[in-house]
């Protein structure tokens, strides 16, 4: 009987402790909305702001099916999909032990990414994203209320089924958001392609496309080439479905860009789509750096793997790969001599 009474008392005490720990609390720290980090209807989101000390704020604005970064360029679709999925699925994993709340809150106040989410121009969610837990399977977050005040109670968050932390999914560096696509025509939708070689004009060419015909011209001629390897030409066009730069150079790029613009480019590729939008990329040889060698261990004057590119009305400098652009920089004779 005595053991039974002791067992009942233990059960009661454990139940009371659990109730105190889990019971609803009127304090803002424990209200449901201060733990509800996820956004159920991500299709309604039209703006996301991510800011971090030491970086400029990232303002992502929805435009149709795409997103624009700081009003400058289109966001990388892969990063955008990851961010929206995180915003939708993030939820509380567990609370912070009471003795660690103050220290962690002070740490979050100094080191965090601030996230603000809008739908129909109305702020619907605002929180801080901190670092990872010791086991790297959770992320510290702190919710803001409607007045912008913090709840003062951080939580460990996660995504069910995902092993890892979420901090890096909230990208706060503008450079990393830049969509590297130069040409993107998965459904083709191209009306004209012009490939110009300033140092070899005889091999420069133009392709005109409509619903019925594909025609090849010498670049500065209105007379179509009489004999064309149509199979080779159609295969060539497929290369324009998706063409990307390796990276964009956004810091300290003006001097280098202006220096390149004073020289003759290796090639100029112009693509005009069916809506008459024009996109131009100019390619320039990239000189190797002292001590830089090729795969044979030999020093060459010019980089055999990469070259510089200038696009967006001569405003943006990027790195291109020969592996990709060698497919685009064919000669006129490649389609006429067969």
Q: Reply yes or no on whether the pLDDT at 335 is more than 90.
A: yes
Report the mean per-residue pLDDT for the chain.
84
- Rounded distance, CA 237 to CA 185, Å? 10
The model's pLDDT over 188-220, given as tens digits with 9 standing for 90+, comes to 889 999 999 999 999 999 999 988 899 999 998
Higher pLDDT: 267 or 180? It is 267
pLDDT band at 73 (very low <50, low <70, confident <90, very high): confident
Per DSSP bridges, beta strands 73-74 and 66-69 are antiparallel
178 pLDDT tier (thresholds 50, 70, 90): confident
How much is the pLDDT for 109? 86
Query: For residue 35, what pLDDT band results from cuts at 50, 70 and 90?
Result: confident
**Residue 96: pLDDT above 90?**
no
The winner for highest mean pLDDT among 20-29, 123-132, 141-150, 151-160 is: 123-132
SS3 per residue for the chain: CHHHHHHHHHHHHHHHHHHHHHCCCCCHHHCHHHCCCCCCCHHHEEEEEEEECCCCCEEEEEECCEEEECCCEEECHHHHHHHHHHHHHCEEEEECCHHHHHHHHHHHHHCCEEEEEEECCEEEEEEEEEEECCCCCCEEEEEECCCCCECCCCEEEECCCCCCCCHHHCCCCHHHHECCEEEECCCCCEEEEEEECCCCHHHCEEEEECCCCEEEEECCCCCCCCCCCHHHHHHHHHHHHEEECCEEECCCCHHHHHHHHCCCCCEEEEEEECCCCEEEEEEEEEECCCCCCCCCCCCCCEEEEEEEEEECCCCEEEEEEHHHHCCCCCCCHHHHCC
**Mean of pLDDT values over 295-317:** 80
Does position 11 have pLDDT exceeding 50, yes or no?
A: no
Instruction: Give the residue-averaged pLDDT of 135-144.
Output: 90
Q: What's the CA gap between 106 and 124, in Å, rounded?
A: 25
Is the Cα torsion angle 102, 106, 112, 117 positive or negative in sign? positive
Q: Are 308 and 286 in contact (CB under 8 A)?
A: yes
* pLDDT tens sequence across 248-298: 887 777 888 888 999 999 999 999 998 898 999 999 998 877 666 665 666
On the question of pLDDT at 125 being above 90, the answer is yes
Q: What pLDDT was estimated at residue 307?
A: 93
Q: What is the pLDDT of residue 26?
A: 43
pLDDT confidence of residue 17 = 45
Per-range mean pLDDT, top range of 12-21, 282-291, 299-308, 326-335: 326-335
pLDDT at 10 over 50: no
Average pLDDT, integer, range 41-66:
90
Q: For residues 67 and 63, what is the distance between their CA atoms, to the nearest angstrom?
A: 5
């Amino acid at each position: 009987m005595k053991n039974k009474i002791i067992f009942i008392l233990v059960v009661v005490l454990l139940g009371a402790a659990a109730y105190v720990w889990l019971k609803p609390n009127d304090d803002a720290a424990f209200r449901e909305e201060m733990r509800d980090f996820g956004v159920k209807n991500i299709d309604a989101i039209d703006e996301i702001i991510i800011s971090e000390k030491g970086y400029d704020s990232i303002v992502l604005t929805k435009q149709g099916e795409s997103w624009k970064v700081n009003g400058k360029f289109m966001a990388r679709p892969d990063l955008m999909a990851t961010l929206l999925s995180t915003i939708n699925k993030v939820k509380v994993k567990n609370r912070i032990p009471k003795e660690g709340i103050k220290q962690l809150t002070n740490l979050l106040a100094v080191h965090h990414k601030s996230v603000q989410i809008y739908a129909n121009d109305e702020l619907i969610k605002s929180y801080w994203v901190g670092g990872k837990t010791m086991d790297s399977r959770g992320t510290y977050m702190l919710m803001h209320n409607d007045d912008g005040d913090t709840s003062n109670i951080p939580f460990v968050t996660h995504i069910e089924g995902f092993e890892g932390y979420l901090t890096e999914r909230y990208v706060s560096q503008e450079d990393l958001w830049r969509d590297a696509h130069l040409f993107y025509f998965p459904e083709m939708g191209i009306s004209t392609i012009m490939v110009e070689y300033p140092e070899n004009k005889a091999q420069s060419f133009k392709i005109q496309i409509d619903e019925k015909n594909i025609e090849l011209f010498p670049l500065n001629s209105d007379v179509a080439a009489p004999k064309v390897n149509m199979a080779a030409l159609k295969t060539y066009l497929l290369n324009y479905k998706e063409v990307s730069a390796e990276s964009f150079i956004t810091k300290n790029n003006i001097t280098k860009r202006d220096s390149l613009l004073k020289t003759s480019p290796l090639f100029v590729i112009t693509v005009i789509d069916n809506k008459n939008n024009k996109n131009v990329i100019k390619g320039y040889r990239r000189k190797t750096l002292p001590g830089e060698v090729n795969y044979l261990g030999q020093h060459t004057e010019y980089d055999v793997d990469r070259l510089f590119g200038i696009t967006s009305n001569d405003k943006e400098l990027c790195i291109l790969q020969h592996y990709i652009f060698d497919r685009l920089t064919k000669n006129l004779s490649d389609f006429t001599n067969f």
